[in-house]
Amino acid sequence: MVELIGDERLDYLLAEKMKIIQSPSVFSFSLDAVLLAKFTYVPIQKGNLLDLCSGNGVIPLFLSLRTKGAITGIEIQERLYNMAVRSIEYNGLSDRLHMILGDIKEMPKRLGYGKFDVVTCNPPYFITPSQEEINENEHLAIARHEILCTLEDAVNAASQLVRQGGKVSFVHRSGRLIDMITLMRKYKLEPKRLQFVYPKAGKEANTLLIEAIKNGKPDLKILPPLIVYQDDNEYTPEMRSILYGE
């Protein structure tokens, strides 16, 4: 059994047997988190992995299916952190999945520099607008807007936390590609793999997945495009495979 608070619910993690605590008014994971978890390279047998801006712990839970390594999630919002902790406990993964409540900017000093083999991040996407435009729901506003964490904060923290030769992967809006590459190179993360996600064939890309290596050599591979929906608004076969293993 698991304690649920307010409007929380216990959802299946897509086709997996695991479940995750979600809330429509606090936090529910998005397709972007699923794509990042699938895109990210992970060592199968062992390793030390870190997920920044973890939300309700969805990426650590997904990554746990692909690696036997230890996974740490960082979340600044106490309510989301608490949801993640309870989900990890519910799924019996407390032996190798751990959540830390705190600011990612403080993590290099707190956890140590260059301690992780893999760092993932699904950061807030939108530059903070005027006060009138920000979502009145504080949880959603912080998750979506660069209120407590900018893209530069996230890239800088990831660079400090990953070991030399370790891998860092991000998901973001495709319109921030130049910002992403510029910041990665500024903080000694060399982009190595890039994939664009398209809502439908013939539409503009709206999401990017990018992986970099700490102090790696320049050699960027552009992966085939990932298309989410067919013309009939059903998932494409590739997307169904990612989501449901079909």
* Domain chopping of the chain, boundaries: 9-244
Q: pLDDT truncated to tens, each residue of the chain (246 aa)?
A: 788 998 999 998 876 789 999 998 888 888 999 999 999 999 888 899 999 999 999 999 999 999 999 999 999 999 999 999 999 999 999 999 999 999 999 999 999 999 999 999 999 875 555 555 545 545 444 445 445 678 999 999 999 999 999 999 999 999 999 999 999 999 999 999 999 999 999 999 999 999 999 999 999 999 999 999 999 999 999 999 988 876
Q: Where do the DSSP E strands lie in the chain?
A: 9-12, 19-22, 48-52, 70-75, 97-101, 116-121, 162-173, 189-200, 207-214, 221-222, 226-229
pLDDT at 118: 97
Tokens coding 155: 């890239």
187 sits in the region (left: phi over 0; alpha: psi -120 to 50; else beta) called: alpha
Instruction: List, in sequence order, every residue forming a beta bridge with 110; answer none if it has no partner.
Output: none
Number of helices followed by number of strands (H, E) in the chain: 8, 11
Helix axes 177-186, 151-161, angle to 10 degrees: 40
Using alpha carbons, select from 49, 17, 13 the residue that is nearest to residue 29.
13
**Which amino acid is present at 15?**
A
What pLDDT is recorded for position 126? 55
- Global pTM value: 0.90
pLDDT at 140: 47
CB 211 within 8 A of CB 42: no
Which runs of E-coded beta strand occur in 97-225? 97-101, 116-121, 162-173, 189-200, 207-214, 221-222
Beta bridge partners of 212: 168, 191
CB atoms under 10 Å from CB of 174, counted, come to 15
CA dist., res. 196 & res. 216, Å (int): 22
Rounded CA-CA distance 76/111 in Å is 15
What pLDDT does residue 124 have?
81
Hey, what CATH topology would domain 9-244 get? Rossmann fold (3.40.50)
Q: What pLDDT sits at residue 44?
A: 86
What is the pLDDT, as a whole number, of residue 145?
A: 43
